[in-house]
Amino acid sequence: MIASVRPEPGATPSTRPAAVRQSYRDAVRESLRDALRADPRVFLMGEDVGRYGGSYAVSKGLIEEFGPERIRDTPLSESAFVGAGIGAALGGLRPIVEIMTVNFSLLALDQIMNNAASYCHMSGGQLAVPLVIRLATGAGRQLAAQHSHSLEGWYAHIPGLRIAVPATIDDARFMLAAALACSDPVLLFEHAALYNREGDLTPGLTAVDIDHAAVRRPGRDATVITYGGSLPKCLDAAASLAAEGIDVEVLDLRTLRPLDEAAIVASVRHTSRAVIVDEGWRSGSLAAEVTTRIVEQVFYDLDAPVARVCTAEVPIPYAKHLEDAALPSPARIVDAVRRVVGRDGDG
């Protein structure tokens, strides 16, 4: 199923609320504020989330509004505070744990994989872990190899987790509520390069799901499949290709586990060509998994081999020109689409 946004019942162009302009950062902050107001069991914990206001200023002002019991600064020990979050979830609370950068989440991998993801299965369904972990991910800000990688595909490999990746203002605003309503542990990957981006919050929208992909741009000539911080690049590439007469459909996966396979199949069957854009490394990537599912499901509908645009197989460089060269870019996406539609010789 492909997600779509529907207006409020009875809304007309004259009565529909005006769009609200908002940054991605502010949308995430408002989602946190809504969650804290709606449920006294919800609290936020992590490094510098309180008095400092968060490493990316996402939680700025929340400690003044909700106090230190619900906006909890933690020691610099990812394993300890993720473990505390798991214990709180088992005890009936609804913790939101913030990990400063996805690279640091590896220090809590034992807690995430061996505990949070496994308790429900190992207990025969008796123990649920309704935990939300928010992680800043991605490159493009010259923070070098210890703060810049995209490891979403790693976590999407683990049964027992849900992996959601908000790429739009709407999803940044409402995915948290859907994650908190889930009895499984949910990892929300927020691409740090998106925090300053602004967009319009869809009028009348009050909820999104964490189950379905969304077509962000319809098209007929090729499908570009992506998620997270690569979505704006794909939309920019699609706009450039439209000027050449190539009509690209852009599919935002939104959720990486479980993958919305039906949406992928429907879009590729419609266009007969696919390019997958993934900020992870190419080897063993989420792009490889999506490619395999396309080949398994719609091989005979393809008019060209599936193409992938991924990050170069190197630790993310610090130097700006090297970082740019390593990452997927609109130009690389344009070239990949040209190849699959047979226009690779065009200038």
Mark which of 168, 201, 234 sits at the end of a domain: 201
pLDDT category, 132, cuts 50, 70, 90? very high
Per-residue pLDDT tens over the stretch 200-245: 999 999 999 999 999 999 999 999 999 999 999 999 999 999 999 9
Mark which of 175, 201, 227 sits at the end of a domain: 201
**Is the model's pTM score more than 0.75?**
yes
Same structural domain for residues 108 and 187?
yes
Same structural domain for residues 181 and 279?
no
Same structural domain for residues 170 and 49?
yes
Same structural domain for residues 31 and 110?
yes
CB count in 10 Å sphere of residue 302: 17
In a domain, 75, yes or no: yes
Mean pLDDT of all residues in the chain? Answer: 94
d(CA 38, CA 89): 17
CATH number of the domain that 65 lies in? 3.40.50.970
Mark which of 201, 227, 252 sits at the end of a domain: 201
Instruction: With a cut of 60, say whether residue 13 has pLDDT above it.
Output: no
Same structural domain for residues 60 and 166?
yes
Per-residue pLDDT tens over the stretch 269-306: 999 999 999 999 999 999 999 999 999 999 999 999 99
In a domain, 208, yes or no: no
Same structural domain for residues 173 and 44?
yes
Is 147 assigned a catalytic role? Answer: yes
In a domain, 129, yes or no: yes
Angle between helices 330-340 and 231-242 (to 10 degrees): 60
Per-residue pLDDT tens over the stretch 111-130: 999 999 999 999 999 999 99
Q: Which of 8, 30, 47, 78 is catalytic?
A: 78
Same structural domain for residues 282 and 331?
yes
Same structural domain for residues 259 and 279?
yes
Query: What is the reported pLDDT for 343?
Result: 79
Closest by CA position to 109, among listed 135, 138, 71: 135
The conformation of residue 40, written as its DSSP 8-state character, comes to: T
Closest by CA position to 309, among listed 281, 284, 344: 281
Same structural domain for residues 158 and 223?
no
CATH number of the domain that 282 lies in? 3.40.50.920
d(CA 217, CA 231): 11
Same structural domain for residues 222 and 187?
no
Same structural domain for residues 187 and 241?
no
pLDDT category, 3, cuts 50, 70, 90? very low
In a domain, 43, yes or no: yes
d(CA 115, CA 137): 22
d(CA 296, CA 227): 21
Query: What is the reported pLDDT for 105?
Result: 97
Residue 31: domain span: 21-201
Query: What is the reported pLDDT for 15?
Result: 56
Average pLDDT on 32-48 reads 97
In a domain, 16, yes or no: no
Paired residues of 132 in beta bridges: 96, 186
In a domain, 347, yes or no: no
Q: Which of 147, 149, 191, 323 is catalytic?
A: 147
Same structural domain for residues 117 and 217?
no
Q: How many domains in the chain?
A: 2
Instruction: With a cut of 70, say whether residue 82 has pLDDT above it.
Output: yes
